[in-house]
Amino acid sequence: MSTFQVVGLLASLASSVAAHGYVSGIVVGNQYSLGYANSMQYQQTPPKVAGWSDPEDTDNGFISPSMYTGPDVICHKGATPGQAYVDAAAGDKVTFQWTPWPSSHHGPVITYLANCNGDCTTVDKTKLEFVKVDAVGLVTPGNPGTWASDNLIANNNSWSFNIPESIAPGNYVARHEIIALHSAQNEDGAQNYPQCINFKITGSGTANPAGTLGEKLYTPTDPGIEVNIYQSNTAYPIPGPTLWSGAAGSSGSSGSAAGSSAAPSATAAPTSAAAAASSVRATSVAASSAAAPKSSKTACKRKRHAFKA
Ligand SMILES: *[C@@H]1O[C@H](CO)[C@@H](O)[C@H](O)[C@H]1NC(C)=O
Ligand SMILES: [Cu+2]
C-alpha cells in the first residue's frame, strides 16, 4: 500500500465515523446521476460527476455562521465545479438522495438555482446569483416539531423539488442545503450543509430572475439562523432571500408526504405582510430562548448526534 492509499483508507474510515450527510445521487425521471463523494479523491480516475467537489470536507462537516461571508458557504469547503451535468427539463421533479441524515439535526431544507450564463464546469462560484426555488422549514408545530429534515429522513433520506416551469433554459448550479438547528440557540451554532450540482435545463421558459450571491445569503443573526428550537414552535422564518414567485411552490418532496402539509406561515412565499408577521413571531421565539439547553457547538459529535435506528 502506498502512503497515498493509506491516507485514503484512514480518511474514508474517519468520514464513516463522523458522517453527517451529502447528496450521493440525483434522480430525474428514470435517469440516475452519481453525486460527488469525498472518497472519490482517492480513486485513481475519479468519475466526472455533476456534484461539486469538496475534497477538503473529509468529515462531511458543516459551514458555520462565522463563515457566511466567505466562499465556503457557497458550495461547501473549498468546493470546485462539478465536471458534468444532470439533464432535466423545466417542470421536472428532481430528487436529491442524501446519505442517512441524523434525526437530531432538525432544520429547513432549501434549494436555489443559479444561472451559470455559460459553462458551469468552469464558473466562478463567487459570481453565481442564487434564486430560491424551494424552501420548507417547520412542517408541524411542536417541541421541536416536525421539520423539513425529518421529512427528508422519512422519505428515504431524499428530497424532491420541481424545476420552475418558467425558468429559461441553460446551465444552472443547484444549491441544495440542509441547515441543522440542534445547536442554533448558541451564537454561531447553526450548521449549514450546502451541496451544489450542475444542471443542464431545457425548456421554453424565459424567466431569468435576479438572485443573491452565495456570500450574501445569510447572516449569523438571522431569526432563522440563531434560534432555539427546543420550545413550542409554531412558526419558523426560513432564512435567506424570498422564495422566487416563479417557484413551483414549496412542494418539498412532491409525490410524498414530505413538505406538503407544511404549516402555512412556515413555507408560504412571503408577501411583505407575511414576512413581517413571521419576523414578529420569530422575535418572540428568540425572546423566550432562556430555557435553551446548554450545548456547545461541538455537541453535534456527542449526545445530540444520533441517527434514527
Ligand atoms: C432509497 O435511497 C437509496 C439511495 O440513497 C436508493 O438506492 C434506493 O433505491 C431508495 N429507495 C427507494 C424505495 O426509493
Ligand atoms: Cu452532527
* Pocket flag, ligand 1, residue 271 (CB < 6 Å): no
* Pocket flag, ligand 1, residue 255 (CB < 6 Å): no
pLDDT given for residue 287 in this prediction: 31
**Does residue 47 carry a pLDDT above 60?**
yes
**Does residue 73 carry a pLDDT above 70?**
yes
**Does residue 13 carry a pLDDT above 50?**
no
Backbone Cα Rg of the chain: 18
Residue of higher predicted confidence among 230 and 262: 230
**Does residue 258 carry a pLDDT above 50?**
no
Nearest CA to ligand 1 atom 12: 156
Report the pLDDT averaged over residues 123-148.
98
Report the pLDDT averaged over residues 128-154.
98
pLDDT given for residue 256 in this prediction: 33
* Pocket flag, ligand 1, residue 97 (CB < 6 Å): yes
* Pocket flag, ligand 1, residue 156 (CB < 6 Å): yes
Angle at 99 between CA 111 and CA 223, to 5 degrees: 40
pLDDT given for residue 254 in this prediction: 38
Residue 248: pLDDT band (50, 70, 90) is confident
- Looking at the CA of 96, which ligand is closest? 1
Strands (E), 145-218: 146-147, 158-162, 170-180, 191-202, 212-213
- Taken in order 147, 153, 156, 158, the sign of the CA dihedral is positive
pLDDT given for residue 20 in this prediction: 87
Nearest CA to ligand 1 atom 6: 97
Looking at the CA of residue 97, tell me the nearest atom of ligand 1.
Answer: 5
From CA 289, how far away is CA 144, in angstroms rounded? Answer: 13
CB 229 within 8 A of CB 139: no
Nearest CA to ligand 1 atom 13: 156
Residue 279: pLDDT band (50, 70, 90) is very low
pLDDT given for residue 14 in this prediction: 43
- Looking at the CA of 61, which ligand is closest? 2
